[in-house]
């Protein structure tokens, strides 16, 4: 039965900022709200992990400005991005901050929202599909299963200073959920594996690396905590990579690459 009132997408008003999640890579995972924002924006400040196909929907005359951050590469400071959003909004432009994944899942969206609020700029946050969910799904790995995994923990592999977060309670992390999903963890993955084992996770537990999740370049590598803790597995796979610790990998029939490494 056809609805009497069709769904109407919101109007992007001048002088406002929308913080939008574009998803982890596949442009098909862009939401209706995200697409609507792209089509109306005057300025799009986009991240490194945003698929360029998403930008093809921008209107004529829209200014596309890259403000992406990649580890080890020159990139705008977060305060510069915050200042740019505020300045453009005050000039009465429709400003779209287009971010990979979800703005509020390790995406600095919270920092940007606070900066906009402090400056008195009206803004709206539009969720996006996060890589920690979409990556395992595209790999055929359920992160929850009634008989295998009833809890999932999402963690970042580094803090603001680039090191492992110092506030982590490794005992709680190791025993709190059957599935652990790490973002941005390649740099410290060996130390992470060692700390999980020391905190009680089994050395033979499966670790799955999903590189370039949801894109045609997606690659999957499977190892164990013990192997990761005692080898250089991170050198065999490229960022961006989601790391999944847990046994639900055993439920997939995907074509998996197994890394055994040098376990000396």
**Could you tell me the fold of the domain covering 131-258?**
3.30.950
Q: Which candidate in 26, 42, 51, 184 is catalytic?
A: 184
108 HSE (CA, 13 A, CB side): 17
Q: Does 47 qualify as catalytic in the annotation? A: yes
204, burial (CB in 10 Å: exposed 0-12, middle 13-18, buried 19+): exposed
**pLDDT for the residue numbered 130:** 97
Radius of gyration of the chain (CA): 20
Q: Does 8 qualify as catalytic in the annotation? A: no
Q: What burial letters (b/e) apply to 122-150, b meaning 16+ CB within 10 Å?
A: ebebbbbbbbbbbbbebbebebebeeebe
Q: Looking at domain 17-126, which CATH architecture does it have?
A: 3-Layer(aba) Sandwich (3.40)
Q: How does pLDDT run across 153-164, given as a tens digit for each residue?
A: 999 999 888 899
Q: Which candidate in 26, 42, 47, 102 is catalytic?
A: 47
Ranges of each domain in the chain: 17-126, 131-258
Q: How does pLDDT run across 172-191, given as a tens digit for each residue?
A: 999 999 999 999 999 999 99
User: Low-confidence residues of the chain, pLDDT below 50?
Assistant: 1, 263-264
Bridge partners for 44 per DSSP: 64, 96
**pLDDT for the residue numbered 247:** 87
168 HSE (CA, 13 A, CB side): 23
Q: Comparing 17-126 with 131-258, is the CATH topology the same?
A: no
DSSP notation for 23-49: BSS-GGG--HHHHHHHHH-SEEEE-TT
**pLDDT for the residue numbered 219:** 93
Helical packing angle, 109-119 and 78-90, nearest 10°: 40
**pLDDT for the residue numbered 1:** 43
DSSP notation for 143-212: S-BTTTBS-EEEEES--TTSSPPTT--HHHHHHH-SEEEEES-GGGHHHHHHHHHHTT--TT-EEEEEES
């Amino acid at each position: 039965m056809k609805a009497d009132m069709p769904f109407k997408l919101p109007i992007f008003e001048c002088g406002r900022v929308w913080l939008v999640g574009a998803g982890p890579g596949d442009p098909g995972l862009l939401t209706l709200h995200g697409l609507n924002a792209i089509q109306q924006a005057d300025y799009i400040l986009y991240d490194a992990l945003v698929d360029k196909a998403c930008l093809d929907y921008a209107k004529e005359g829209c200014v596309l400005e890259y403000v992406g951050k990649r580890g080890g590469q020159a990139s705008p400071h977060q305060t510069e991005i915050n200042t740019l959003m505020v300045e453009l909004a005050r000039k009465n432009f429709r400003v779209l901050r287009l971010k990979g994944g979800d703005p509020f899942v390790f995406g600095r969206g919270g920092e940007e929202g606070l900066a906009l609020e402090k400056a008195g700029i009206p803004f709206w946050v539009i969720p996006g599909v996060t890589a920690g969910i979409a990556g395992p799904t595209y790999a055929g790995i359920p992160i929850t299963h009634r008989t295998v995994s009833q809890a999932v923990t999402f963690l970042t592999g580094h803090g603001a200073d680039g090191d492992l977060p110092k506030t982590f309670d490794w005992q709680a992390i190791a025993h709190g959920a059957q599935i652990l999903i790490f973002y941005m963890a390649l740099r410290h993955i060996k130390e992470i594996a060692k700390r999980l084992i020391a905190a009680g996770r089994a050395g033979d537990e499966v670790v799955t690396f999903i590189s370039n999740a949801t894109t045609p370049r997606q690659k999957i590598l499977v190892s164990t905590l013990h192997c990761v803790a005692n080898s250089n597995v991170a050198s065999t796979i490229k960022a961006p990579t989601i790391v999944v610790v847990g046994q639900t990998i055993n439920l997939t029939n995907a074509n998996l690459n197994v890394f055994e490494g040098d376990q000396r």
